[in-house]
Structure 1
C-alpha cells in the first residue's frame, strides 16, 4: 500500500505537472527527474500522484534499462535529428491509480532548464501567450509534445 499519512518536505521537490483532468489526453503531464536514476526518484513521484490518482496500482513504461534517453537539447541545435535520435523513443509512463490514470512524458534529467520548464508548461496544458509563445523554447517544447503524443498512440495500441 502506498497511502501516505502526512506530507514530507523534500530537499529537491518533485518536478511534476498534470493536466486538470488526468486521463483525458494523450499526454496528461510530465515528470522531470533530477537525476538519471528514475528508480531512485520513483517513490517521491508515487507520493505526489497519490492524491490526484488514488492509490497507485500499476506503472507501465515504454523503455528498457538499456535504452538511452532522447536528448531534448538536440532539438534546439539541429534542424533534423540524427539517425540515432530517430530510433530513440520519448520515455512515457502510464501511472494507474484506483480513481484515475495518467500518461506522463518523462523529461530527460539533463534537459536545459529553459527547455525543460517550457516542456513542463506545455505538458500541463497551460496556455502560452505573447513572447513566450513565439520563442524557440516553445517551438521545441511543442515539437516534443507532438512527438510524444504520437509515440503514446503507438504504444497504447500495443499495450492496450
Structure 2
C-alpha cells in the first residue's frame, strides 16, 4: 500500500476532493497547507488510495522554478476575462493508480479559506453554498476551472516523458 502505515494520521486534515466519476479534464482538486507540497504528498497518496488503488505514478505540469498562479489576484480582478488573462498556468497533477487515474488542480496554499473551499467543491462538481457573498467567489472558481480545463487540454496534447 505505497509503504504508508495504516495508522498514520495527518497533523492537519488533507484538503482534497474527487468527482464521483473520473475522466473529465479536471477530476478534483488538492489544496496543500503549505508551499512545501512534498511534505504533504504521502497524506495525499493515502487519501486517494481507496479511489485509485495503489498509486504508481504522479506527473505535474510545472517545474520548481515556476511561480504559482495567484487565485487571489483573479478574485480581486473583476474585469478579468479568460481570453485576456495573462497569468501563470494553473498547476495540475496527474495521479495514476492501479485501478483509476485522476487529474487534480492544485490550489495554491496561500489561497483564502473561502475561495479555496469554493475551488475544491467546484473542481469536483460538488454543490456550492448559496449564501450571500458567494456569487463572486463562485464566479472566480468558475474562471479558475476554465483556466485549469484549458491547461489540462494543452497538457494532454503533450506526450508524457518516460
> TM-score, normalising length from structure 1?
0.89
Instruction: Determine the structure 2 residue equivalent to 1:9.
Output: 9
* In 2, Cα distance between equivalents of 1:137 and 1:104: 20
The answer to whether residue 21 in structure 2 is matched with residue 21 in structure 1 is yes
Match of 2:155 in 1: 155
Matched, 1:121 2:121: yes
Contact 1:92–1:105 (Cα < 8 Å) also in 2: yes
Cα 1:114–1:129 change in 2 (3 A) is closer
2:46 paired with 1:50? no
TM-score, normalised to structure 2, is 0.88
- The answer to whether the 8 Å contact 1:3/1:55 transfers is no
The answer as to whether partners of 1:59 and 1:96 remain within 8 angstroms in 2 is: yes
Q: Mark the CA change 1:19 to 1:133 in structure 2 (over 3 Å): closer, same or farther.
A: farther
Query: Which runs of 5 or more structure 1 residues have no equivalent in the other structure?
Result: none
Aligned to 1:106: 106
Question: SS where residue 29 of structure 2 aligns?
Answer: strand
Aligned pair in 2 of structure 1 residues 129, 43: CA closer, same or farther (>3 Å)? closer
- Residue 132 of structure 1: how far off its partner (Å): 6.3
**Matched residue of 2:71: which SS?**
coil
CA RMSD for the aligned pairs? 2.0
Alignment of 1:82-97 (within 5 A): 86-97=86-97
Q: Which piece of structure 1 moves more, 130-139 or 88-97?
A: 130-139
Give a deviation string over 1:57-102, Cα, whole Å, max 9, x none: 1111000000000000001211238xxx725110000000000000
Contact 1:29/1:105 (<8 A) preserved: yes
Q: Structure 2: any 5+ residue segments left out of the alignment?
A: none
Q: Secondary structure at the match of 1:10?
A: coil
Q: Secondary structure at the match of 1:105?
A: strand
1:130 deviates by 3.9
